[in-house]
Amino acid sequence: MDKELAFEEWVKTVPSKLRADPLWESLYYRLAMYLYDLAWQVSEIIRRDFREREIAGQLVRCTGSISANMEAAYGRGLGSGDFVRIMRIALGEARESQGWYFRTRHILESDLIDRRISVIDQIISLLVNLIARHRKGRLLDNSCR
């Protein structure tokens, strides 16, 4: 497994074209992309037997789906009804990711799982607040940066 980079160090590895995208300004998106890279690294570790391969596949799929849904939501427009609906799907994928990380407890060290769940908790908190603000008509995304 590659060395686990801290979030701030990981950001420096992201191509500048991606960092120039308006969606990149949102902390929840940056964290979701970071989480996917962390899940990718874990998938390198957990693949000895069919159970581990299944967990690795689920982790990669659901963590990748968080940021993919954020991208789709932004593509629909910040104030659109689709935006909130798709962000709720991203929230569901984040919650599913928590469950899959819990399921790795027979394979991974607890401190690694705790670090991953901490990132997921941040994403969930930011998404819950974002969705609530959109429902109240406050469409600006400034508080999640």
pLDDT in tens, 80-126: 889 999 999 999 999 999 999 999 999 999 999 999 999 999 999 99
User: Rounded distance, CA 118 to CA 104, Å?
Assistant: 15
Calculate mean pLDDT across residues 1-20: 91
Nearest to 98 by CA among 78, 125, 72, 74: 125
What is the average pLDDT score of the chain? Answer: 91
Q: Is residue 106 part of a domain?
A: yes
Is the C-alpha dihedral spanning 136, 138, 141, 143 positive or negative? negative
Percent pLDDT > 70 in the chain is 93
Percent pLDDT > 90 in the chain is 77
Residues 6+ apart with CB under 8 A from 39: 59, 60, 63, 64, 97, 116
Residues 6+ apart with CB under 8 A from 8: none
Q: Is residue 51 part of a domain?
A: yes
Rounded to the nearest 5 percent, the helix, strand and coil shares of the chain are: 80, 0, 20
Domain tally for the chain? 1
CATH label of the domain that carries residue 32? 1.20.1440.60
Does pLDDT of 145 surpass 70? no
Of the two residues 145 and 4, the one the predictor is more confident about is 4
Q: Is residue 136 part of a domain?
A: yes
Boundaries of domain holding 133: 22-144
Q: Is residue 57 part of a domain?
A: yes
Does pLDDT of 75 surpass 50? yes
